[in-house]
Structure 1
Amino acid sequence: MQRRVLVVVFPGFQLLDMAGPADVFGTAALVTSGGYRVEVAAVGGGAVPAGNGVTVMAAPLGEVEGPVDTLLVAGGWSVQEQIAEGELVAEVARLAGSARRVASVCNGAFVLAEAGLLDRRRATTHWLVADALAARYGHVEVDPDPLYIEDGHVWTSAGVLSGVDLALALLARDHGHALARDVARGLVVYLHRPGGQSQFSTPMRAMTPRSEPIRELQSYIDANPAADLSVAALAARAGMSERHFSRVFTEQTGLSPGRYVERSRADAARRLLEVTGHPLATVARESGLGTPGTLYRVFRRHWRISPGDHRRRFQSKES
């Protein structure tokens, strides 16, 4: 059965919001011998400029007839102008009525919310505009942290490249994780990014160090959570005294070495909880947190949730 994927764009849309999911479904169409057909539509149709100046050809949205299997709305910094004009929202609401599922990338969530499709649902969007979404639409439960959220037949995702994660999750739901993994490999992207994974990894929270030795040390910490990451060991690796190393690291990353290491290990533990079935003792050991008790305390401190609750809420179905 061929599944029809309609991506809705508008002048000033974010090109990757469209291109990422389109390539996921387009690649899947090749693997499944035409299992998906991707269409692009916009109010008025014709040549539609993206925010970066690239122009795409789109069908007139008002002439698109349902049913649509997957209705996906892209985001872009001009989305508020489009909402104010009204026609885009009305057309999305019309097509959503016959769609098997509805999705948005980035601040395309504003279009879904304006159409009433997110009322009393949990949703996410780009972290930069999450507060604005929550303030404007009081009936929407906005969670700014996850990469994507599924609530019933409505899916929302965070900014830009998280649209690829969303599309891979939709593909896995349709055809299983084996096909999604094959498509991810073909696109050379990392498949294991469950929806519950945060938009912010530890390196994204920190400043980018100016010096190459500190950048290399930062990468070493993130890649080796179970190693000896004490200040003494890190200072020796950097070839500095402990006092000088602590000062330089804090100055260049915005976090003390100890705080950075704890956050990095917490991220490692969260990934293990999401994509493995390892016992908590194993997760604690492999993430460098040592014991289940420490794992529990770190999770409560950073996310106000227990490791077990996090796993139940966000564990990848593939694991």
Structure 2
Amino acid sequence: MAGRQVVVVGYEGAELVDIACVTTAFSLANRLGADPKYEVSLASLGGVDIRCETGLTLRAGVPVETVREIDTLVVSGGDGHRRAASGHELIRQIERLAGQARRVASVCTGASLLAAAGLLDGRRATTHWLYAAELAADYPDVLVDAAPIFIRDGNVATSGGVTASLDLTLAFIEEDHGAELARYVAIGMVTYLQRPGNQAQMSIFTTTPNPDNLVVRRALNEVLTHPEADLSTAALAAHAGVSTRQLTRLFQEHLGEPPGTTVRRVRLELAARLIATTELPVSRIAHQCGFGSAESFRQAFVARYGVSPRAFRATQTRSGALAH
């Protein structure tokens, strides 16, 4: 395949934002240099137009029955999810495509369609918190957890309500093309608000504000994309082309903390993400995130999260949160 084939499945009563967050993020990744590019299609049963729950109508690009090549399958949510989940043919097509896809995902109540296809049996999964009890009651073989923004269990991922799909899509982009491209996509979509939910499943690209000041932005970008580098205040100031005193003043003004505090926080959040989503040794994660030793990393991690890195990973492993 020339590109990564992404198929987003919609249906009558799908939520427009569930679809748009995914398609826009992948499209922006293409414009920012993703290689191979994402080839995104919106599919519906029979290729019919999708009347969203907002009343707007989307034109499906392809009939879901005709899709043959697929890398990533994303099933959207929306008020129409119950009716869609009871449709035998759509569920059969989702099951078929899931068997071919490298990874499968749902947005919000789209989890009910994956569950109806048997794709969540024995897996930990999430959905919009308002519908979590319903999902658990309807599909008792699914281990429903309403707290996280998204959960990855093997090659199947489920995300919480509506815009949580953006966090999940950013994680996919990071997995495919690296942290720097994912951050630029997040910046391009102005997703700088703090997200609720499990810290390890929060996107580092959205938890740090994108400051207006160019100097701070340049320094912060260096921190986010090169956490293993020399990120002392002096080194950051030199990178940004200002004095250490000026940089400290600007960080206080725009981020509310000195450079050293920002560096430590970002490194720990990146480390927590790696612990939760990879099987890399803790010592290697410590090195990649700029800590001088595994012990200094452990102490800093305990001070921030209240548990050791290994204990944190154990809870994530038991919950099925590790990425494949």
Which range, TM-score by smaller chain?
0.5 to 0.7
Map 1:1-319 → 2, pairs under 5 A: 1-30=2-31, 31-32=33-34, 35-190=37-192, 196-197=198-199, 274=272, 279=297, 282=300, 296=306, 309-310=311-312
Deviation of the 1:98 alpha carbon: 0.8
Structure-1-length-normalised TM-score: 0.64
What is the rounded CA distance, in whole Å, between the counterparts of 2:197 and 2:152 in structure 1? 8
Contact 2:301-2:309 at 8 Å conserved across structures: no
Contact 2:41-2:62 at 8 Å conserved across structures: no
What per-residue deviation string (whole Å, max 9, x for no partner) do you get for residues 53-104 of structure 1? 1111003534422221000000001111112232221111111111111100
Contact 1:14-1:52 at 8 Å conserved across structures: yes
Unaligned runs of 5+ in 1: 201-222, 226-269, 288-294, 300-305
Secondary structure of 1:12's counterpart equals coil
Deviation of the 1:183 alpha carbon: 1.1
Kindly provide the amino acid, as one letter, of the partner of residue 153 in structure 2.
Answer: D
What is the rounded CA distance, in whole Å, between the counterparts of 2:256 and 2:25 in structure 1? 31
| Identical residues among aligned pairs (%) | 42
Contact 1:69-1:101 at 8 Å conserved across structures: yes
What is the rounded CA distance, in whole Å, between the counterparts of 2:200 and 2:130 in structure 1? 14
What is the rounded CA distance, in whole Å, between the counterparts of 2:201 and 2:171 in structure 1? 16
Secondary structure of 1:44's counterpart equals helix
Deviation of the 1:309 alpha carbon: 3.1
Contact 1:181-1:191 at 8 Å conserved across structures: no
Structure-2-length-normalised TM-score: 0.63
Kindly provide the amino acid, as one letter, of the partner of residue 103 in structure 2.
Answer: R
What is the rounded CA distance, in whole Å, between the counterparts of 2:196 and 2:28 in structure 1? 20
Deviation of the 1:2 alpha carbon: 0.8
RMSD: 3.6
Change in CA separation of 1:154 and 1:195 when aligned onto 2, cut-off 3 Å: farther
What is the rounded CA distance, in whole Å, between the counterparts of 1:26 and 1:171 in structure 2? 11
What per-residue deviation string (whole Å, max 9, x for no partner) do you get for residues 25-45 of structure 1? 001112226611110011122
Highest Rg: 1 or 2?
Answer: 1
What is the rounded CA distance, in whole Å, between the counterparts of 2:82 and 2:70 in structure 1? 25
Kindly provide the amino acid, as one letter, of the partner of residue 15 in structure 2.
Answer: Q
What is the rounded CA distance, in whole Å, between the counterparts of 1:193 and 1:280 in structure 2? 25
Deviation of the 1:271 alpha carbon: 6.1
Contact 2:9-2:64 at 8 Å conserved across structures: no
What per-residue deviation string (whole Å, max 9, x for no partner) do you get for residues 154-173 of structure 1? 11100100000000001111
Q: How many residues align?
A: 239
Change in CA separation of 1:179 and 1:130 when aligned onto 2, cut-off 3 Å: same
